[in-house]
Amino acid sequence: MFQSVSELVTEANQVGSIAEVMIQLECQTTRMPRHEVIKKMEQQLSVMENAAKKGTAGVTSATGLTGGDATKLEAYLAKGNFLSGETILIAVQNAIATNEVNAAMGLICATPTAGSAGVVPGVLFAAKDRLDLDRDAMVRFLFVAGAFGLVIANNASISGAEGGCQAEIGSASAIASAALVDAAGGTPEMCSAAIAMVLKNMMGLICDPVAGLVEVPCVKRNALGASQAMISADMALAGITSVIPTDEVIEAMYKVGRQMPSIFKETAEGGLADTPTGREIKMRIFGQSV
């Protein structure tokens, strides 16, 4: 089994693709036949599709803090008078939609966590249109994301409570970017570069959920994470590389997470959660005793 990004890249070049490396690993660890492993991933894809569709149609969380923004962005896109690229905005729309469904207690696929569940599907569904991906290619996209996610989880963290939001949205954005590079025909080395560029630019991102809820600023961070993933993918595909090797970037992220004060790691004691409005929202939802 690969323990690092460099090992994953080496194995991928030997067997032909990152997705194949991950499929083989899943077969070995779960003892399921290949077709069952792929079928299970297809089921995850279906959950992602349904969540994005439901969120775009419009949902609202029980607190009323989030909901409806994916619908607004869809209407904005339809007007055609937007400033950034259409593909990026489609990714952002679907990322928001997915996390609005999560906030509304709907069914989502944690990729790699519930709080960061919008980034990978957001990027994937934008790539589907832009790259004309068929069903098999979309499933491969998810296996590639999973392979890199496994490395990050084993060598750093994907938990906001342990490593801050850099570990959640940062990891989600990184694996989405790598999978996008692969889907666009990039090499495993380019996928690795995309991982490094995303993590470097999201390093130090704190986890500061207002009132301790996975709503504010989580939903919008998924949106911006999706855009980061797409820009970093383009940079990697252009041949831009990271001066700091990817595995060292992951190690640095881990160290930053360890050094980050607890108030910035999902405790809702710092950052946006500790603003006057953040405290007022907490009081309104939970009352004086919290």
Determine, yes or no, domain membership for 290.
no
The tokens of 263 are what? Answer: 């108030």
What is the number of structural domains in the chain?
A: 1
CATH of the domain at 83: 1.10.4100
CA distance 32 to 78: 44
Determine, yes or no, domain membership for 55.
yes
CA distance 65 to 56: 16
pLDDT in tens, the chain (290 residues): 899 999 999 999 999 999 999 999 999 999 999 999 999 999 999 999 999 999 999 999 999 999 999 999 999 999 999 999 999 999 999 999 999 999 999 999 999 999 999 999 999 999 999 999 999 999 999 999 999 999 999 999 999 999 999 999 999 999 999 999 999 999 999 999 999 999 999 999 999 999 999 999 999 999 999 999 999 999 999 999 999 999 999 999 999 999 999 999 999 999 999 999 999 999 999 996 44
Give tens-digit pLDDT for 103-120.
Answer: 999 999 999 999 999 999
CA distance 230 to 223: 11
Q: What is the dihedral of CA 280, 282, 285, 290, to 10 degrees?
A: -120
Distance of CA 258 to the CA centre of its chain: 21
CA distance 258 to 279: 26
- Name the residue with tokens 């996610």: 149
pTM of the predicted model as reported, rounded to 2 decimal places? 0.97
Give tens-digit pLDDT for 207-231.
Answer: 999 999 999 999 999 999 999 999 9
The tokens of 240 are what? Answer: 């831009």
Peptide bond into 217 cis (omega under 30): yes
CA distance 290 to 288: 6
Mean per-residue pLDDT of the chain:
97
Do 87 and 129 form a contact (C-beta atoms < 8 A)?
yes
- Name the residue with tokens 């299970």: 40
Tell me the residue ranges of DSSP E strands in the chain: none
User: Can you give the residue range of the structural domain that contains 99?
Assistant: 5-285
Angle at 94 between CA 154 and CA 76, to 5 degrees: 145
